[in-house]
Each structure stands twice: as C-alpha cells, then as structure tokens.
Amino acid sequence: MLEKAFYGSKLYWTWLLLLLGLAGIGFGTYLIQFNQGLKITGMSRDVTWGFYIAQFTYLVGVAASAVMLVLPYYLHNYKAFGKITILGEFLAVAAVTMCLLFITVDLGQPRRILNVVLHPTPNSILFWDMVVLNGYLGLNAVIGWTILGAERKGVAPPQWIKPLIYLSIPWAVSIHTVTAFLYAGLPGRHFWLTAIMAARFLASAFCAGPALLVLLMFILRRFSNFWPGSEPIRSLAKIITYAMLLNIFFLLLEVFTAFYSNIPGHMDTFKYLYVGLDGHGKLVPWMWSSAFMALTSIILLVNPGTRNNESILPWTLVMLIASTWIDKGLALVAGGFIPSPLEHVTEYWPTAPELMISLGVYAIGSLVLTVLYKVAMAVKQEVGVEVPH
C-alpha cells in the first residue's frame, strides 16, 4: 500500500520536496543545537520549557482528537463518520510523531534518552507520558493501516482490530490527561496547579484537533476528488462548537477564581499575559488577538448559518486554531514560569534557531501526514465504494 505514495502529480512531488528541504534545514539547525547546547534557544534559568514543549503540548491535543471520529463511529454507529475515521487516525500518527520529535529536540542530553526506558520510574509522569504516547502511536498506526488495507481488499477488517479500536478511545483521553498531569501536579507553579488543567486540555484538544481535520478535508477536496459530504463536516462543526464553548468557559472559570479570590499567586500570570507584569508584556498583544479570534470563531460557529457555510467555515476554523495555538502553544508554557518561584519576571521568546528546528519538525510531521493521506486517498479512489468496517 505504501507504494501508492510514490505516484503523484508534479505538485505532490514539489510539496514533498519542499517539506524535505525544510526538514533538512531544521535538522541542520538541530545539529548546531546538538553541538552547542540549548543556549541557542530563548530559554533561561527561569523559563526552562519553551517553544518545543509548547508545540508538543498542542500536538498531543491534536492527536487525541482522533477519538472524536472513532467514538461516534465505532461506539455509536454514527455512519456519517465512516469515510473519515482513517483521516483522524493518520492525523494522530503524524501528530504523535511530531510530539516525540519535539520532546527529543528539547532534551539536553538526547544521547541518554533511553535512560527513561532503562530506568523506569513509575512515580514520574514523564515516564507515563512516554508510555502512552508511544502506545497511542502504535495503536493508531496499526488500526489505520489494517483498516485501510482491508478496505483496499474489499473485505471486513480482522476481528482482532476491534478491541484495539475500543482501547484507542480511552487511550486518546489518557494521552492528553497524562500530558496535563505534567503541569497540574507541580507545587511551585500556581498557574498550572489547577484541577481543571486536564479538562481544559481535553476541551481545547477536541475543538482544535477536529478543526484541523475539517481544514485538511477542505484541502483534500481541492487536491483530490475526496469529499465525505456535508453531513460529517456539519457534525464535526457542531462538535467543534461545543468543545470551543467549553474551552472558553473553562478559561473564564480560571479567570474568575484568580481574580475573585484576588490571591497574587493565581492572578500574577494572568496579569502578565493580558496586561503585563512589572513592565514586561511581550505576550499581551498575542493574548488579546487570541481572545478576539476565539470570540469571533465562537460567534461564527454558534450561528448555524455561518457554521454550515462552506466558504466561511474554513476561515472560522483557521481563527480557532490560531486562537487555541496561542493559548496552548505560547501562553501556557511560558506563563507557568512567569513569575519565577522567586517572584522574578524573566520573559521568554523563541529564537530563530529554535523556530527553524520547530519548522523542521512540523515539516517532518507534514511529510508523514502527506504520505499517509496520499495512500488513503489512493486506496479510496481504487476501491470506489465504501466497505463496512
């Protein structure tokens, strides 16, 4: 089936070459980081996790969102999602691959990465993150590939795939819960020390991930003949709407707790993000843009006229993704470190090498996604009619 990825238009190959080029530049930049250390990033003694970990956190959410297709289809027989579960599963594979790459490029001593396996430490959440991420990658790769293979042959998939599919549903929830636990159990970081962290993570994952999926389907319609029809798109848009409403509601709950209690430890980071703290406020314009885009996308999503309008919906979703990305991919990680445990404010901004390496990782993920989607599209074209699975 993989050979299907080797047949494509000039545009397809140009895209792959572009991604390879970006990946190469990213890798070259990474070699510089490998040699010189993480000093070429914008991180500091006070802000010790930055862009890499933020991207990992965002992408775990995107990966978890495959469950939004799998759950309705396999548990509740929602037939409309039948054609697109494979897209969710393959997106999960690409996203988890990027997560693992982002974690690897963030390590100070990547040569020693196997120490996590050689010296298993069950009390460490990072150990469990490694377990669930790799497990989820394996699950989705096997499930997606097997189902697609069965579809190609025109037969029902083997029986042993069913328990794996059912397992992937709670597993999807677990990967993002465990990632949230990385943050939510640390006693010194008041911005993160909140029970709602895991719930917020899941809510933002279940709006951002499916939003990305819908956008990808619009892109697929443009470049191949694949279009699942309006029904799955509209259903997903409804799911995205409710998830985004929950996501913003949870954020506002946090704001209430911080500012009604007026406890400095709870308020300080929100102040830094939205109005600046001690004269520092690099993220302020970003946060208000995120808020504006969140509000706008909610209005456009709640209104069925604009939600179901296939010309407006892509732009709504772009805004939603940008808004959630700023919240999770910029604000969350830096915010936890500002102010520092010693009440100092040291700002963070990614450096050019850091962004270049990140772009390289995104390129590799896009490469994986492109190849997998190409295979899926080619199989669907070959088969023509949907096989029950």
Partner 1 sequence: MSIDRRQFLKLAGLSAAAAVGGPVAANILMRSQLQAADETPAPGALTARRWGMVVDMSKFTSEADIQRCVAACDKAHNVPHIPTKQDIKWIWEEKFGNAFPDHEQVYLAESLESRLFPVLCNHCDNPPCVRVCPTQATYKRPDGIVMMDFHRCIGCRFCMAACPYGSRSFNFGDPRPYVAQTNPEYPTRTKGVVEKCTFCVERLAKGLRPACVEASNGALIFGDLADPNSEVRQLLKERYSIQRKTALGTHPSVYYLI
Summarize as ranges the residues that interact with partner 1 (CB under 8 A).
36-39, 41, 43-46, 48-49, 106-110, 112-113, 115-116, 118-119, 121, 123-127, 130, 182, 185-189, 336-337, 340-344, 346
Question: Is 221 in contact with 282 (CB distance < 8 Å)?
Answer: no
The residue among 100 and 169 lying less far from partner 1, judged by its C-beta, is 100
Cα–Cα dist 372/5, whole Å: 8
Query: Could you tell me the smallest distance in angstroms from the CB atom of residue 60 to partner 1?
Result: 16
The residue among 14 and 121 lying less far from partner 1, judged by its C-beta, is 121
Q: Which of 113, 89, 86 is nearest to 101 (CA)?
A: 113
The residue among 79 and 112 lying less far from partner 1, judged by its C-beta, is 112
The residue among 88 and 157 lying less far from partner 1, judged by its C-beta, is 157
The residue among 342 and 385 lying less far from partner 1, judged by its C-beta, is 342
- DSSP code at position 79: G
Query: Could you tell me the smallest distance in angstroms from the CB atom of residue 379 to partner 1?
Result: 17
Query: Could you tell me the smallest distance in angstroms from the CB atom of residue 5 to partner 1?
Result: 17
Query: Could you tell me the smallest distance in angstroms from the CB atom of residue 44 to partner 1?
Result: 4
Query: Could you tell me the smallest distance in angstroms from the CB atom of residue 38 to partner 1?
Result: 5
Instruction: Spell out the alpha helix ranges (H) of the chain.
Output: 10-36, 51-64, 67-70, 76, 85-106, 115-118, 125-153, 161-184, 196-223, 230-261, 264-274, 284-302, 304-307, 313-326, 332-337, 352-383
Query: Could you tell me the smallest distance in angstroms from the CB atom of residue 351 to partner 1?
Result: 12
The residue among 6 and 292 lying less far from partner 1, judged by its C-beta, is 6
Cα–Cα dist 371/369, whole Å: 6
Task: Establish how many alpha carbons lie within 13 A of residue 377's alpha carbon, considering only the half-sphere containing its beta carbon.
Answer: 22
Q: For residue 233, what are its two tokens? A: 């798109």
| Residue 155 burial class via C-beta count within 10 angstroms: exposed 0-12, middle 13-18, buried 19 and up | exposed
CA angle 364, 369, 374 (to 5 degrees): 130
Query: Could you tell me the smallest distance in angstroms from the CB atom of residue 138 to partner 1?
Result: 15
The residue among 289 and 346 lying less far from partner 1, judged by its C-beta, is 346
Tell me, what amino acid is at 32? Answer: I
Instruction: For residue 274, give Cα distances in angstroms to 108, 134, 143.
Output: 32, 36, 43
